[in-house]
């Protein structure tokens, strides 16, 4: 593949899907499409459940691909996918999908819902009843293995309908390649829990003893390896085109932006993360931490790891606020579209201004920028700040699942809508900073931040608060997109089909 060719990058996100065609030489995006999936399905568990309709998601992504230029699709030499890496779905092998006659389109049959990373069915009590993983990463609700163990205990009849499991993007790859058994990258396996990232094996003995049917576990390969090939021509992409094992959306969104070791990447989309690359010498521990931690290390590319603070509260918290405003307006007899609420609240937030507080005369000592009492922790220049403090953790956090959101320091003078919106944006960034403070970045040699993600790139208030709180140079880069990152990962890989999958405890599992 010495000549330039195209790579199709696909991101199956939480709220939308995106596809892009990337040139292998220039890594330029030649064409792209994006579509909201509207795939959320009410859960029988109420707010404790979070599931999505797989068929809607796959319909949306195939519609996007069909809208890409056919002449460029014919030049595709690799297909790369990524997505929400903690989520889990199940299916019945041999009866899970079919390709419509005289059509490029695939349809699903005997599959479960997608149980997303936001699913809260695994209570702290249930998680504490599970055996300790032989892994450096602790278990949390929404993780694939935890979800499967919950079904094994509380919905065994439902689980017995299926004999395969994976992320939705693992399923997508299995469907395109006609795989007998799903192939999962190390990135996704580590995000599921009960996976030893150093040994690259599932904790099969622990999972089997806990009641999980081992046939559900995907075969695991290194990130960037090829899972299979297209079984037929697909939207003008030739039959036999290699498809790499699906990757994590976090790693893919970070990959195009980590061009130097002194960079930290902040991504705020549905959720929010800040990450930087760990030294090449880093080796993960073999046991999870004994107490909850706000940061974790996750597999990246070429055997490297990222240090990540992953908050469950990002653009989803802002979206919840906008939906609440819309409902309040409806309760008052007014119908206001969400697009108008977004536009107006961001405009008001940018314009809001309070009288500056008098400067403190108690000390001339420099402020501690990690202190919650500092001007930086307050969220920026005093002349344009709102004094309301919002803790936006309405979706909890993995290190503190029972934490709730809150608003404090409320007074008559700071209840304007723009002030509340600005306080919410400030709270999202402050919450992320509390998980990975500025001092941690400085100790790691980080001197600048590159930002990405749909919420951060569309919301100047978040960007302003990020700059103020971390007090480091911040730039936005549109390449911080998971679909683009997936394509770049495929370009950088050698493209060889994995000759042997990494198996639990050294055993091989037939595909």
Per-residue model confidence as pLDDT tens digits over 134-189: 998 889 999 999 999 999 999 999 999 999 999 999 999 999 999 999 999 999 99
- Report the pLDDT value the prediction gives residue 138, as an integer from 0 to 100: 87
Domain 257-356+368-478 is of which CATH architecture? 2-Layer Sandwich (3.30)
Average pLDDT taken over every residue of the chain: 89
Give the Cα separation of 312 and 403 in Å (integer).
11
For 6-254+483-506, CATH gives 3.30.420.40
Q: Under DSSP, is residue 165 helix (H, G, I), strand (E, B) or coil?
A: strand
Give the Cα separation of 15 and 271 in Å (integer).
11
Interval 422-443 mean pLDDT: 97
Whether residue 380 has pLDDT greater than 80: no
- Domain assignments of the chain as residue spans, ordered by start: 6-254+483-506, 257-356+368-478
- Report the pLDDT value the prediction gives residue 369, as an integer from 0 to 100: 55
Confidence of residue 358 (pLDDT cuts 50, 70, 90): very low
Which among 260, 140, 221, 248 has a CA at the least distance from the CA of 509? 221
C-beta of residue 10 within 8 angstroms of C-beta of residue 61: yes
Strand 474-476 relative to strand 448-452: parallel, antiparallel, unpaired?
parallel
291: CB partners within 8 A, 6+ apart: none
Per-residue model confidence as pLDDT tens digits over 327-354: 999 999 999 999 999 999 999 999 985 4
Structure-token pair, residue 461:
């208030």
C-beta of residue 269 within 8 angstroms of C-beta of residue 457: no
- How big is the chain by its Cα radius of gyration, in Å? 23
Packing angle of the helix pair 417-435, 460-470 (nearest 10 deg): 50
Structure-token pair, residue 17:
């899907």
Packing angle of the helix pair 460-470, 338-351 (nearest 10 deg): 40
Structure-token pair, residue 170:
């693992």
231: CB partners within 8 A, 6+ apart: 176, 177, 178, 239
Give the Cα separation of 185 and 126 in Å (integer).
27
Confidence of residue 421 (pLDDT cuts 50, 70, 90): very high
For the chain, give the percent of residues with pLDDT over 90: 79
Structure-token pair, residue 436:
């990975």
Whether residue 229 has pLDDT greater than 80: yes
Output the DSSP codes for 123-134. Answer: -HHHHHHSPPPS
Per-residue model confidence as pLDDT tens digits over 3-30: 889 999 999 998 999 999 999 999 999 9
- Report the pLDDT value the prediction gives residue 102, as an integer from 0 to 100: 86
Give the Cα separation of 444 and 22 in Å (integer).
32
- Report the pLDDT value the prediction gives residue 198, as an integer from 0 to 100: 85
Give the Cα separation of 221 and 323 in Å (integer).
41
Whether residue 256 has pLDDT greater than 60: yes
Whether residue 372 has pLDDT greater than 50: no
């Amino acid at each position: 593949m010495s000549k330039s060719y195209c790579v199709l990058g696909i991101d199956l996100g939480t709220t939308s899907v995106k596809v892009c065609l990337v040139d292998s030489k220039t890594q330029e995006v030649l064409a792209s499409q994006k579509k909201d999936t509207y795939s959320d399905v009410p859960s029988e568990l109420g707010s404790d459940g979070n599931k999505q309709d797989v068929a809607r998601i796959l319909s949306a992504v195939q519609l996007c691909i069909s809208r890409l230029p056919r002449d460029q699709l014919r030049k595709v030499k690799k297909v790369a996918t990524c997505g929400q890496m903690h989520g889990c779905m199940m299916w019945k092998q041999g009866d899970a999908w079919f390709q419509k006659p005289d059509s490029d389109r695939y349809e699903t049959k005997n599959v479960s819902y997608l149980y997303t990373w936001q699913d809260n069915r695994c209570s702290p009590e249930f998680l504490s009843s599970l055996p300790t993983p032989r892994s450096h990463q602790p278990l949390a609700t929404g993780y694939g293995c935890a979800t499967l163990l919950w079904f094994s205990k509380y919905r065994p009849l439902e689980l017995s309908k299926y004999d395969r499991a994976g992320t939705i993007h693992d399923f997508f790859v299995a469907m395109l390649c006609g795989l007998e058994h799903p192939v999962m990258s190390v990135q996704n396996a580590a995000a599921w829990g009960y996976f030893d990232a150093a040994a690259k094996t599932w904790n099969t003995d622990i999972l089997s003893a806990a009641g999980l049917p081992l046939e559900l576990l995907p075969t695991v390969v290194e990130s960037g390896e090829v899972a299979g090939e297209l079984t037929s021509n697909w939207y003008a992409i030739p039959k036999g085109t290699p498809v790499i094992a699906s990757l994590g959306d976090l790693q893919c969104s970070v990959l195009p932006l980590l061009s130097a070791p002194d960079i930290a990447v902040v991504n705020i989309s549905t959720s929010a993360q800040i990450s930087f690359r760990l030294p090449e010498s880093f080796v993960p521990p073999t046991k999870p931490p004994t107490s909850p931690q706000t940061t974790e290390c996750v597999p990246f590319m070429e055997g490297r790891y990222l240090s990540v603070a992953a908050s469950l509260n990002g653009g989803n918290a802002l979206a919840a606020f906008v939906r609440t405003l819309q409902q309040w307006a409806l309760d008052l007899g007014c119908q206001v579209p969400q697009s108008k609420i977004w536009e107006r609240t961001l405009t008001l937030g940018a314009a809001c201004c309070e009288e500056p507080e008098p400067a403190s005369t108690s000390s001339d000592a420099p402020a501690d920028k990690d202190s919650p009492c500092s001007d930086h922790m307050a969220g920026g220049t005093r002349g344009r700040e709102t004094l309301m403090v919002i803790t936006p953790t309405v979706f909890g956090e993995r290190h503190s699942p029972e934490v709730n959101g809150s608003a404090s320091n409320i007074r008559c003078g700071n209840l304007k809508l723009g002030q509340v919106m600005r306080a919410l944006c400030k709270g999202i960034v402050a919450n992320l900073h509390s998980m990975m403070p500025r001092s941690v970045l400085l100790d790691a040699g980080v001197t600048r931040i590159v930002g990405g993600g749909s919420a951060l790139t569309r919301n100047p208030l978040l960007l302003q608060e990020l700059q103020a709180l971390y007090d480091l140079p911040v730039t936005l880069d549109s390449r911080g997109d998971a679909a683009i990152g997936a394509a770049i990962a495929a370009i950088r890989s050698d493209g060889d089909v994995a000759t042997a999958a990494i198996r639990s405890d050294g055993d091989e599992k037939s595909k």
